[in-house]
Amino acid sequence: MSDISIRKEGKAGRITLTRPDALNALSYDMCLAIDAALIDWINDDEVALILIDAQGDRAFCAGGDIREIYEIGQSGDPTRAQNFWRDEYRMNARLFEFPKPIVSFMQGFTMGGGVGVGCHASHRIMARSSRMAMPECGIGLVPDVGGSLILAHAPGRLGEYIGMTGARMAPGDAIHAGFADFVIRQAEWPALKADLIRTGDPSHINEAAIPAIPGNLSAMQPMIDAHFGGGNLGDIVASLRGEDSVFASNALEVLSRNSPLSMACTVEMIHHLSTTRDVRKSLELEYRFVYRALEYSDLMEGIRAAVIDKDRTPNWKHSLDNLPNDAVGKMLAPLGDNTLTF
pLDDT number for residue 179: 98
pLDDT tens, residue by residue, 163-219: 999 999 999 999 999 999 999 999 999 999 999 999 999 998 999 999 999 889 989
0.95 exceeded by pTM: yes
Percent of the chain with pLDDT over 90: 95
For residue 50, report the phi and psi dihedrals to the nearest 5 degrees: -110, 135
Q: Quickly list DSSP for 139-163.
A: GT--S-TTHHHHHHTSSTTHHHHHH
Average pLDDT over residues 2-6: 95
b/e sequence 234-248, b meaning 16+ C-beta within 10 Å? bebbebbeeeeeeeb
pLDDT number for residue 76: 86
pLDDT tens, residue by residue, 63-90: 888 888 999 999 988 999 999 999 999 9
Q: How far apart are CA 36 and CA 18, in angstroms?
A: 17
Which own/partner pairs from 304-312 qualify as long-range (CB within 8 Å, at least 24 positions apart)? Answer: 304/70, 305/139, 306/66, 306/138, 306/139, 307/66, 307/67, 307/70, 308/67, 308/70
Contact between 59 and 114 (Cβ < 8 Å):
yes
For residue 23, report the phi and psi dihedrals to the nearest 5 degrees: 55, 30
- Whether the predicted pLDDT of 309 surpasses 90: yes
pLDDT number for residue 289: 98
pLDDT number for residue 2: 84
pLDDT tens, residue by residue, 103-117: 999 999 999 999 999
Q: How far apart are CA 11 and CA 160, in angstroms?
A: 40
- DSSP alpha helix (H) spans, the chain: 28-41, 66-74, 79-97, 113-118, 147-152, 158-165, 171-177, 189-199, 205-208, 216-227, 233-241, 246-257, 260-273, 279-296, 299-303, 327-332
- Cα dihedral 188→118→147→94 (10° resolution): -140
Contact between 111 and 63 (Cβ < 8 Å):
yes
Average pLDDT over residues 126-149: 98
Average pLDDT over residues 301-320: 95
Q: What is the DSSP letter of 196?
A: H
Neighbours of 229 (CB within 10 A): 13
b/e sequence 151-167, b meaning 16+ C-beta within 10 Å? bbbbebbbbbbbbbbbb
pLDDT number for residue 64: 84
pLDDT tens, residue by residue, 47-58: 999 999 999 999
pLDDT tens, residue by residue, 232-265: 999 999 999 999 999 999 999 999 999 999 999 9
Residues 6+ apart with CB under 8 A from 283: 89, 92, 93, 144, 145, 146, 340
Residues 6+ apart with CB under 8 A from 337: none
Determine the 3-state secondary structure of 228 from DSSP. Answer: coil
Q: How far apart are CA 222 and CA 116, in angstroms?
A: 28
Residue 98: pLDDT band by 50, 70, 90 thresholds?
very high
Average pLDDT over residues 155-159: 98
Q: How far apart are the first and last CA of the chain?
A: 26
Number of residues written out for the chain: 342
- Whether the predicted pLDDT of 99 surpasses 60: yes
- Cα dihedral 156→99→119→145 (10° resolution): -90
What the chain holds in terms of domains, given with CATH numbers, is: 4-135+167-208 (3.90.226.10), 216-338 (no CATH)
Contact between 33 and 70 (Cβ < 8 Å):
no
Contact between 25 and 17 (Cβ < 8 Å):
no
Percent of the chain with pLDDT over 70: 100
pLDDT number for residue 48: 98
Contact between 264 and 328 (Cβ < 8 Å):
yes
